Structure 1
Amino acid sequence: MSTALAANESYVARTQKFLFNNGYGFLVSVIVAVAAQFLSDHYGAPALLMALLLGIAFHFLAEEGRCVSGIAFTSRIVLRIGVALLGARISVELLVGLGPKLIGLTIAGVILTILFGLLGAKLLGRGWRFALLTGGSVAICGASAAMAIAAVLPKNEHSERNLIFTVLSVTVLSTLAMIIYPVITQTMQLDDLQTGVFLGGTIHDVAQVVGAGFSVSDETGETATLVKLIRVTMLAPVVLVFALVIRTYAENDEAVGGKRPPLMPFFVIMFLLLAAINSAGLIPTVMQTFLSDVSKWSLLISIAAVGMKTSLKTIVDVGGQAIILIVAETVFIAGFILFGITYFAN
């Protein structure tokens, strides 16, 4: 009895210590996320962008004081929870409903955009880590992909700066695409199906895909959302491949620094597990909605914390080549998908 009581007291003490160390930073991140969602709901600005900018404004909280460890915890652990829960939105039915040609086009767009990013980064003198981060975020699902990929990339002194730049850039570019791309499809006289595939296959973030698609028509919105979720499905295999390649590469590269990434990141396992359970029809609609909301808020809270960890000066220091690269990747995937639906996927 005394042993069990001592163990229970030890557990309570550890819990209290954990909450004391991390609670303040987590709570501040939640407050910033709620404020960002309020601005998004009332003024139409992207919630992730608002959370990022508000977080940067509170950078001083991550430099010293009680919030430091909690902000670090939120930017790392809560982020992985949000990415893992994205799996509850994925099912095999998504792939079946679109057809082999459009599925192939979508997957090819993801792979080729990442390869284009690697080539572009080499030409512009940027590192492979930055190439994978920007290429993966543009190719798959914007800010969510950027944070998931950053979780498996070896860390260096520029890691947080590059992540914040990528999240900021893809969010801004996605918002611009939501406005410009429907005009492009109308000018080219694409039908609802083609327009939906183009919007879903090229715009970075899910929210902007939905906004752009349903602004054209219901059929376009449904198709765009479907194509976008197929790109989201690519997140787990792409992150897994990155982790495996980096792990092998790190064995022979002392420049990578830090400890080697895990063979199979736990949040990727959870993503795949939830996707498999959902494909089997074992997640009720109510639970799926709940998990989707938890994922959304986890990502919003974590990006607020990421913003707090990064000063505005470090973003400016990224350089013009970085802007050129991420814009070029965006133009590349747009051109590839547009070419594909026009000549091959009819």
Structure 2
Amino acid sequence: MPGIAVSILVAITAQFLAEHYGMPAMLMALLIGLALNFLAEPDTRTAAGVAFSARTILRVGVALLGARVSAAMVADLGFVMVLLVMSGVICTILFSLLVARLFGHKWSFALLSGGAVAICGASAAMAIASVLPRHEKSERDLAFTVLSVTLLSTFAMIVYPIIALSLAMTPGQSGVFLGGTIHDVAQVVGAGFSVSPEVGETATLVKLIRVSMLVPVVLSFSLFVRYSGRGSTTQREKLPLLPGFVVAFLALAGMNSVGLVPSEVSDIAGDVSQWALSVAIAAVGIKTSLKRMLDVGAGAIGLLIVETLFLAVFVIIGMRFIA
């Protein structure tokens, strides 16, 4: 309990800062957590609870995201736009695999960073990390990716609406651009509704369609690791084909699609999911040494920036062709 309580306290503090000073809650949770790294030392009373929060509470948060996704979203947006959004996710991940070597990183970091940029930022990073082979730098890479995509997402929340206006996009195109390119759900909502209610609703819808790509992407990564000979034999055997929390995500999305999840319950599940993810990110921060995270180097930062730019350009060009 001590470690869980500390993680919850950090999440509450981060939420307070987010509400009063306009700072992203996920970013604040991670940064505060990094300052409390000493609480994750093996001989402390908080170590076990912090590890539980970073693993189990994280999975609860990702699973509950499924209650906000439904098949009706696809019909509302239209087949062509959905195809563009899905293509953006796939092409960004493939692009990451192609250029990762140029930035001095291996396939595992390419999948982690590319998936985080392509799908839904911090939550996607943590879900993807669960099916990648573990190594001594896994926690560091995860914390670095969460920090970077959150910062980039915050920057995009400010800059992308300006880009949409400067390119004279229609409200529908603006919503697709913002929802199809900004990493985290909260920043998509902030960017979309800063333009107009119509743009905000479209952007949120598009973003949730990207979130729904989490299941096939995680499954694909799991199959890739298992059958490509990546990692040790023991690691491949221990990694689940599809983690239980991803199955729960899929089940909730299916229930929501057939109307078994009332809108009130879906909203509550979304709120609980955000809190759970904040607690988990706080715990990931506590478990991570800031010094070790900085050892990732400039190449990792460059890779994430290039992936972000690729996705933005891909969606803009795609909409031009569609129009």
| Bin for the TM-score computed over the shorter chain | over 0.9
Aligned ranges 1:334-345 → 2 under 5 Å: 334-344=312-322
Instruction: Give the root-mean-square deviation of aligned CA atoms.
Output: 1.3
Contact 1:155 1:258 in 2 (8 A): no
Q: Deviations over 1:3-40 (max 9, x none)?
A: xxxxxxxxxxxxxxxxxxxx110011000000000000
Aligned to 1:234: 213
Mapped partners of 1:96, 1:253: distance in 2:
40
Q: Does 1:101 align with 2:80?
A: yes
Q: Distance in 2 between matches of 1:34 and 1:258?
A: 37
Which stretches of structure 1, 4 residues or longer, exceed 2 Å deviation after superposition?
A: 122-125, 252-260
Query: Structure 1-normalised TM-score?
Result: 0.91
| Residue 293 of structure 2: aligned partner | 315
Question: Is the contact between residue 113 and residue 145 of structure 2 (CA under 8 Å) also seen in structure 1?
Answer: yes
Aligned residues: 322
Q: Is the 8 A contact 1:247 1:260 kept in 2?
A: no
The structure 1 residue matched to 2:284, chosen from 306, 313, 327, is 306
Aligned to 2:24: 46
Q: Secondary structure at the match of 1:91?
A: coil
Match of 1:288 in 2: 266
Matched AA of 1:214: F
Equivalent of 2:64, from 73, 85, 94? 85
Change in Cα spacing, 1:96 to 1:27, as seen in structure 2 (3 Å) is same
How far apart are 1:259 and its partner, in Å? 5.1
Partner of 1:201: 180
The amino acid that maps onto 1:174 is: S
What does residue 142 of structure 1 align with? Answer: 121
Structure number with greater Rg is: 1
Stretches of structure 1 that go unaligned for 5 or more consecutive residues are: 1-22
Displacement of 1:255 in angstroms is: 8.3
Paired residue type of 1:331 = L
Q: Is the 8 A contact 1:145 1:235 kept in 2?
A: yes
* 1:247 corresponds to which of 211, 223, 226: 226
1: CA distance, partners of 2:49 / 2:151? 28
Q: Deviations over 1:268-288 (max 9, x none)?
A: 110100000000101112211
2:227 counterpart letter in structure 1: T
Deviation at 1:139, TM superposition (A): 0.2
Cα offset, 1:264, TM superposition: 2.0
Q: Which amino acid aligns with 2:179?
A: G
Please list every run of 5 or more consecutive structure 2 residues that lacks an aligned counterpart in the other structure. none
Judge conservation of contact 2:160–2:178 (CA < 8 Å) in 1.
Answer: yes
Q: 1:244, CA displacement in angstroms?
A: 1.6
Q: CA deviation at 1:211?
A: 0.6
**Deviation of the 1:123 alpha carbon:** 2.4
Are 1:59 and 2:37 counterparts? yes
**Aligned equivalent of 1:191:** 170
Q: Which secondary structure does the structure 2 equivalent of 1:232 belong to? A: helix
Q: Percent identity of the aligned residues?
A: 58
Matched, 1:119 2:98: yes
Q: Which secondary structure does the structure 1 equivalent of 2:45 belong to?
A: coil
Q: Is this contact kept in 1: 2:218–2:242, CA < 8 A? A: no
Could you tell me how far 1:170 is from its partner in structure 2?
0.4
1:10 aligns with none
Which residue identity does 1:112 align to in structure 2? C
Q: TM-score, normalised by structure 2?
A: 0.97
- Given residue 88 of structure 1, which amino acid in structure 2 is its aligned partner? A
